[in-house]
Chains A and B, each alone.
Chain A
């Protein structure tokens, strides 16, 4: 079965091969193996980019394949990060506190230990009590389960409510955006118990791994991210390949027709929404220990819109398109905002890329939407010799997805 699935989808094999090659190449060039061609900070950037590719795949599933333009997937990404961050922070602080209290003349009571940890973690934001949501922070297993469970549960509740009352299209987009905003605002409050605007920090220091240099830790996370991306890609490819994939594409193209054919449209949509939320949570849980800090600004609605833009630029409705879009835009973005791009003198004025990069990015969205609805992935169609029929601008249907074009060809 697996063989035949892979045989039918040669792009999956190609992608996995390239990813493996890339991982290997980066590892060999990294500081961890001594070559030092790639700095640790760049390994971290690449590792984070892989996580972004993973959430882009989730976004592609939910938007490119199912037609739900969710502007809330970064909320799930952030939640995943918070869940793992709580354990990282608690455990690191616990070790410090226990080492320090061990010097005391009389052994501390459990209450004293917990108070000391609380003071260390929340003292910064003016508190010392543990909020209820930290109840499981001492257990890695439970927090790892929560990494998928919390985003999944939120997606389940939100999706069930929204799909049940048949909120679709633009309305759903705005509603998901509202959800993200509400979550971000909630986390911004100190009272939320997750350290407000400061968020959780120092996540790159793994508890109990003090002696291991960051160059090695960064490679661990790089591998983990690559593995997660590979598995996520496989899962997504599997989901969209069979009959299930046909049904969700059908929902994207005409929801009412699929419903009249007897499919439970809400069930399919809910499944996709929840599973992508879980994938996003995992991506976030791998991303933030590499970034070192998570705070509510990460969840701001604009992040989710960027996510949609990556997928649009990469090419909706094809998984590798999402990966290309996410990797390309985020890396180029890093490069331009890094302040290292030479200024462009125009005679009368000098273009500073730090200032003008956003303008360029914004205009490129417009151009891609207007002139290349298939995104960069569309280039691969050119290689394959697939061309759009000349329809003089008349759309094929309500939402001209990439794969549909191919189906029309066959």
Chain B
């Protein structure tokens, strides 16, 4: 057995280092996205995006005169495996930077490892905030870049007075709904006008919940649904919504986890007019976006669509390239310092800026679902700076993240002290 295991270990080391022989002096970029298991549906696309971006950069001559080399691993939607693979990437493969993770729990699993080994991770997905790590750059939306503007849109533009917060039971919907509840209360919405429901992953029997939402209209207030329902479950939800004949003009639904990819799994003719809030839609009108979409379709096929986390990787990767060029090295600390203040054009027009709290300033877009599965952008804000600690929960309102001047991701402005240097996982 000992022999077997050491052979295995040897084989692993051998196969893993095979590509390294081909190109001696390269900069290694780790890609940590699930290629199998439940999250493969979303994350495989991001792996392909990264490979495309790296190829493009290499065609331009690489970084610091060296070629980039992608090291792809498969954490298989298994959260502990994320930590293991991250450690492998950092210690065995010696990657200079990692792009990866989708779910919050996978990020929380990776955090202790990259903080211990001083790695660098770019996280491309909208998330619940309440975190800022020295070693992570958050290129997805924080709640104030997606949830709050969308809620404002409901309040101001649609005149919604009663809210149904429907979510899948995990951390992102829980925290987002918590923030929204306290935000809505601050806007004068009474507690009994906020209906919250959590469903399991992949839930399919939505009849009762949809009936509950319709029944909310009984006291004469306009009802709106804010959906943090994740993945497959959306299909059953929208089908039930369409069957119940609820039009977007009666009860609008704004979703934070439904993008172009998710809509390709269903017939959207009955869903026209329902909303989604993101920092990017494929239908955004800009030359950069046309180029990006064309490159993606050329690589992956004509029926493939682009989505928000892909843009996040696009911005994150290009900022990293510029930061490395600026720092003249791939050393994590130097690159981190150079990252802050980096600017790069968004695909939606305008410029994204990396803030000292490791979040981006990005515009918020609200789109209406169209019959062809694309979104019609009906509202676009100016760049909103991402806020790591939300202002709408009492515990985190006093916290602040600033890696540039304060050198702390969890700084208590009341006691004027750094609560902890490592992040809260």
Contact = CB atoms under 8 A, between A and B. Distances in A.
A/B touching: CB–CB < 8 A:
yes
Contacts of B79: 199, 293, 295, 297
Contacts of B177: 126
A173 interface: no
A338 interface: yes
A125 B175 contact: yes
A348 to B, nearest CB: 19
Interface string A265-292: 0000000000000000000000010011
B130 A123 contact: yes
A39 B130 CA distance: 33
Interface stretch (B314-322, B379-387, B412-420): B412-420
Interface residues of A, number: 62
Contact of A327 (B1, B104, B198): B1
Nearest to A19: B1
A124 B424 contact: yes
A293 B80 contact: yes
Interface stretch (B111-119, B218-226, B238-246, B297-305): B111-119
Nearest to B37: A337
A126 B6 CA distance: 45
B42 interface: no
Question: Which of A38, A40, A297, A298: most chain B Cβ within 10 A?
Answer: A297
Contacts of B91: 39-41
A263 interface: no
Q: How large is the interface on B (under 10, 10 to 19, 20 to 34, 35 or more residues)?
A: 35 or more
Contact of A198 (B73, B170, B396, B415): B170
A197 B172 CA distance: 10
A331 interface: yes
A188 B169 CA distance: 7
Contacts of B2: 18, 21-22, 25
A39 B92 contact: yes
Given A125-B174, A291-B80, A293-B79, A190 B112 contact: no
Contacts of A354: 35-36, 74
23 contacts: A44-B87, A100-B419, A120-B424, A124-B171, A124-B175, A126-B178, A128-B395, A185-B200, A190-B174, A190-B198, A198-B171, A201-B105, A201-B112, A202-B111, A291-B80, A292-B112, A293-B79, A295-B105, A297-B78, A339-B73, A340-B12, A340-B15, A354-B36
Interface of B: 1-2, 4-6, 8-9, 11-13, 15-16, 18, 35-36, 72-74, 76, 78-80, 83-85, 87-88, 91-92, 104-105, 108-109, 111-113, 116, 128, 130-131, 169-171, 174-175, 177-178, 198, 200, 395-396, 412, 415, 417-420, 424-425
* Shortest Cβ-Cβ A-B pairs, 5 listed: A126-B178, A197-B170, A291-B80, A41-B87, A202-B425
